[in-house]
Amino acid sequence: MSLLTVGSVAFDALETPFGKTDKIIGGAATYITLAASYFTQQNNLVAVVGGDFPKEMIGLLEEHGVDTKGLEIVQEGKTFFWSGKYHEDMNTRDTLITELNVMEHFDPIIPDSYQGTEFLMLGNTVPATQKVVIERLAKRPKLIMLDTMNLWMNIALDDLKSVLKLVDLLTINDEEARLLSGEYSLRKAAKKIMAMGPKTLIIKKGEHGALLFQEDRIFFAPALPLEEVFDPTGAGDSFAGGFIGYLAATNDISFDNMKRAIIYGSAMASFCVEKFGTERLVNLSKEEINARVQEFVKLASFEIQ
């Protein structure tokens, strides 16, 4: 089944306890499409970059089977730029700089060949843009998943609430779930957020795994305890890409299949954090992914007499 991803394609500058990077390639949609490329062949991208974005990176996405027809290049504009600094625990970070640049007034054009997509992943970007994408699809996808962040809750809450009414699944982290709902208990937060629109909710808890909520059901997926976490940037997006890529590949959106998908998503996130930026995600094999998924199965399975 085909997947359409919309979101930021970016330059990132990162600071972690292990070192600093100059501008490297990042962006939500970059991580999502790369992670999804290991699962689905029809991997379409709608995003915007400036004339400063390297052609080789677009080539790299294409080598991974990502269709970049929908990637607009504004020659005279600058690519979205984000800079973040991680705390010692690597679980929390501060945003230092957000320059929307070409993303601010992006008018997402959906190529005709992307119409009819069964799966839509609205990666982190301006909520009004996420909404326009839904409105521009002639047929409603089988599953619309949305990711967002605290920035939009703070500066574009009304737009965010308006797009939330239209989506099936929302993925956010625990801090964002608390901010959006005003509830500390994640169970209470989940109830309130699901009442805003999405029938399914994933709350990511960094190195402590992720919770999947749907109606009265809850599933917990652990994160793999790694000896070294080098750079957590993109973990949430790799998680989303693995999750929705697996759903698209299996064409099954049942709760049971979402449980499997969350493990594939967690496996992709665990690879992502092993190196800076997209470095680890661009060089994976199916065998490595399957072996990692088996580690998750062993980690969380037990028997009770």
Site residues (vs ligand AMP, CB under 6 A): 8, 10, 12, 26-28, 82, 98, 124-125, 149, 151, 233-237
Cβ-based neighbour number of residue 28 at 10 Å: 30
Q: Indicate the residue among 80 and 246 with the shorter CB distance to ligand AMP.
A: 80
Q: In the block, which residue shows the tokens 């790299």?
A: 60
Q: Indicate the residue among 39 and 81 with the shorter CB distance to ligand AMP.
A: 81
Q: How far is the CB of 125 from ligand AMP (least distance, A)?
A: 5
Q: Are 17 and 86 in contact (CB under 8 A)?
A: yes
Q: How far is the CB of 202 from ligand AMP (least distance, A)?
A: 13
Q: Indicate the residue among 98 and 250 with the shorter CB distance to ligand AMP.
A: 98
Cβ-based neighbour number of residue 135 at 10 Å: 9
Please tell me the distance from the alpha carbon of residue 126 to that of residue 68, in angstroms, as a whole number: 20
Q: How far is the CB of 217 from ligand AMP (least distance, A)?
A: 25
Residues 6+ apart with CB under 8 A from 169: 143, 144, 145, 146, 198, 199, 200, 201, 202
- Enter the tokens of residue 104: 């601010």
Q: Indicate the residue among 37 and 125 with the shorter CB distance to ligand AMP.
A: 125
Q: How far is the CB of 210 from ligand AMP (least distance, A)?
A: 12
Tell me the HSE value of 205 on the side-chain side, using a 13 A CA sphere.
13
Q: Which residue is nearest to ligand AMP (CB)?
A: 26
User: In residues, how long is the chain?
Assistant: 305
What φ, ψ does residue 60 adopt, rounded to 5°?
Answer: -65, -40
Q: Indicate the residue among 26 and 198 with the shorter CB distance to ligand AMP.
A: 26
Q: How far is the CB of 278 from ligand AMP (least distance, A)?
A: 9
